[in-house]
Structure 1
């Protein structure tokens, strides 16, 4: 008898759901729901409350409406092909991380309370909310002064994207709300709480985004938090949960109420929440050391498995069992990749390019790729820094900003487009070299996500810049399918990820890119210029930070 699993992949703009069979991994139903509120960056909905610079919020209604809409659709599609609903055994969820929100003791979002709907801090802080850089700086400063044992596991730099900087920002800027909330929780953990009625927090989320290291006793000490802020001393006991749970384990069964509304059996197992990038190890078959998984979409997240525990500066986290049981998993990445290309298309590409793209029945991205592909490396005379949304790794500074050097009156849009792709490849090379200079080998790369399947130029540029083989995953539904696979593991503790992925043939790849020697030689020279710019603007100078200070001053005056 064939069994089935549901996977829900909560991204930045939408939730994607799939229904797969538990043996072959075949997707038998799928659907997507775009968030009506999208990413909130200017004003709070239905208010005149203006947000400051670097704010990125969301609404929990989008998550629940998306859940109900997508799962009901999957169930309808299943019934249409004669699948017995009772054979749907599990649900897995992955979510952007660190996306967090304040809730009351019952798990109800504070933003739903009438008296707090015009408080920006009551809303969901999306992963790319970067307005807590000041708080991140404080957290880093105290950890460095105290030589905290957990600090090297995060490359000695905590990001403004993470849980405690965002929570500290609430304490300092809206103390009334801070004391009103009972819990501050990852959105994925919150969704699992809604589905099961049980608060079961992901060890992976806690490990990568909340400085949790199990072998060091869990979260940092109360003494450390008190040194950060006097009212932060008991923050873990007051606002979090001390118990965390492994990936691929059961958070509980779906509540009878949700089961009835969604048309599912009340025996459906709900898995512990996973991070949207990390979950892709399942659907890409990456379950071995020294292969770097690159999930490339709006941003880029990298997962590198290792049997060792080398502590490396410039990584975003090293967590035991953080992605695959039995391995230590490094996380690195870039704050913006696809977002940079979208910015360029939305704000810089002239209208006549869109007209020509339509005349050739192409998207604007396909048209730019067609124009940029014949260009030789270095032909445009451009080099860019890929910091349009700050630097995640290895510099870990959200106040850094983008830069293009070499522009002239003759520069064409396709040349800038290619230079932006090259910049993201150079950023990836800097991350890889940081690993290898510290004794951790990166033998090959596996790409998944939205961009690698759409942009062959990007894949070849990365191969030429990195000079390493790049395999493209067969899977288009890597996030949702990965979430479904982890839910399968939650139904049977005897299963391993390697077994499931191999049986589903997920370790077989669509195509492989290798570098072209001539292009690689030119890119070596351009990369040296990129490194010079990194030193000038990222390491030794504070020009970009001064611009941020000036920008924030203008916002505060308005």
Structure 2
């Protein structure tokens, strides 16, 4: 496709994941991926500011800024700076943080530097379970509009307002110092442009899916509802935003300070921010009624449909439906699983513990450096061997059944209080059998999502896989194809969300007129397709029914255990 740029032109996509940031330099005329760089967050890797036992996961902005500088400088060095015309950022979400009037994250200030509540509250942080339950109760009972209806009808502890409520109640110093709150993708974009906070272009993707923003009620929920949720939220709405913008629009240009730090120029256009799964869906060449599954530590499942065809239809129990959140002119619908690769990593860590605690931690013959290398080699080999052995297990000879809710359930019908489970263990049960059951469980969770979309009138015509699990685990992908009884196409790009961000950047920089044109020109295609094995499909259908029965049992037991607490909370809410 011809472009208005006769001379070389490049764009950079920055993808902020849970563990690391990736920068991808893309030829804006051909789609060639010229260079990529990855930076792992050091503070996050050390477990700082987190407490997994309490579901607290926080990230320090210095991890993100250091990664930004390191990766962009590395990829930008491949071509003349003047030829890099656009940059766009995608991040995890909802990952909000408190900022002062200048837009600086509070955790960057000396008085809050070591306060986890002043940092970014990562998507997987579930400390706001009570606040999410309260939002859901009050949204249905306050006597006005139900502001959760475009968020699948169930607000999650993983999202914007629940997290703000929790920290506002928990930490008075942070609550008083927080002039506003920003999603990670917005804050990074603001930082690069150096613009004032007031009037800054906030992400439609983030606001619509996680902050109950919708054009029909004038943007964010009204002050009356927010103060009904929590009186301490009074005034915050006016310090947030009213309008939102799609990811193909110009947020600003690179500031002089950051142009120097990154080795770029102030002519570089910075696009409005987005979430990683939505950018990844664009790179996965999503089209009407395709489902792009972004498979990593968790999954995000993205579907787009023409706005006119969706109309007033509300899809229950998903993570939102937002006009323009993925592709302008289409409704983006999001679902997902709170644990996907995370579930398999949990089991690997469980098996590693005895060796680490009993042997490696007390070694008298290996240096600290040798221990670290040996542990990494052990970890890599363990997952490889588990996968190989699990693939050889005959499902007919193993009755082990697993439930994948170790990090709660995101979709369908968000409930982060739910827990995982294992059923049918015997003295003969092996580690590979359990591992296979865990793989099957995450695939059954995916099947529930597909069924929910279709039962709500949104057909899923094809499934596309992107992300680390999709690229690295043929066993998981074949099992998924068998469970879904559908072919699954795997995108070529190793860095799909970063490529999608680059596609947005190319539109913002004026190379292409819209996202569809950018997607067509810069798309990398598909590497392979996994097709269902007919011999497995019927077996998995029977086991899926058992999975659903186990899920119903665990959910009813969880509800029964929580009943007295829920009753007390309801009484408190009614009194308030």
What TM-score, normalized to structure 2?
0.88
Any gaps of 5 or more consecutive residues in structure 2?
Answer: 1-6, 361-373, 567-576
> Which residue is equivalent to 2:489?
471
Any gaps of 5 or more consecutive residues in structure 1?
Answer: 550-558
Asked if 2 retains the 8 angstrom alpha-carbon contact of 1:336 and 1:389, the reply is yes
Distance 2:85 2:499 in 1: 15
1:541, distance to aligned residue in structure 2 (A): 4.3
1:158, distance to aligned residue in structure 2 (A): 0.5
Distance 2:166 2:387 in 1: 41
* 2:190 aligned with 1:187: no
Classify the secondary structure of the residue corresponding to 2:479.
Answer: helix
Alignment of 1:51-200 (within 5 A): 53-76=54-77, 78=78, 83-145=79-141, 146=143, 148-198=145-195, 199-200=200-201
Instruction: Work out which of the residue numbers 400, 404, 407 in structure 1 matches 2:425.
Output: 407
- Closer, same or farther in 2 for the Cα pair 1:452/1:357, shift >3 Å? farther
1:110, distance to aligned residue in structure 2 (A): 1.2
Higher helix fraction (1 or 2): 2
Asked if 2 retains the 8 angstrom alpha-carbon contact of 1:51 and 1:120, the reply is no
Distance 2:242 2:292 in 1: 30
Q: Deviations over 1:475-510 (max 9, x none)?
A: 11101111111111111285222222222343x311
- Closer, same or farther in 2 for the Cα pair 1:348/1:86, shift >3 Å? same
Distance 1:541 1:401 in 2: 8
Q: Deviations over 1:347-400 (max 9, x none)?
A: 126769x9x999999732222221111223343111111111110011311111
Asked if 2 retains the 8 angstrom alpha-carbon contact of 1:10 and 1:95, the reply is yes
RMSD (Å) for aligned C-alpha atoms: 2.6
> Which residue is equivalent to 2:268?
268
Asked if 2 retains the 8 angstrom alpha-carbon contact of 1:59 and 1:123, the reply is yes
1:539, distance to aligned residue in structure 2 (A): 4.7
Asked if 2 retains the 8 angstrom alpha-carbon contact of 1:40 and 1:57, the reply is no
Distance 2:376 2:121 in 1: 37
- Closer, same or farther in 2 for the Cα pair 1:544/1:70, shift >3 Å? farther
* 2:333 aligned with 1:327: no
1:150, distance to aligned residue in structure 2 (A): 3.4
Alignment of 1:504-515 (within 5 A): 504-506=522-524, 508-515=525-532
Alignment of 1:306-317 (within 5 A): 306-307=305-306, 308-309=310-311, 310-317=313-320
Aligned length: 535
Distance 1:394 1:432 in 2: 9
Q: Deviations over 1:2-31 (max 9, x none)?
A: 210111111111111111100221111111
1:540, distance to aligned residue in structure 2 (A): 6.3
- Closer, same or farther in 2 for the Cα pair 1:359/1:141, shift >3 Å? closer
What TM-score, normalized to structure 1?
0.91
Stretch of structure 1 that moved more, 363-372 or 130-139:
363-372
Classify the secondary structure of the residue corresponding to 2:552.
Answer: helix
> Which residue is equivalent to 1:553?
none
> Which residue is equivalent to 2:569?
none
> Which residue is equivalent to 1:203?
204
> Which residue is equivalent to 2:549?
532
Distance 1:62 1:118 in 2: 14
- Closer, same or farther in 2 for the Cα pair 1:137/1:347, shift >3 Å? same
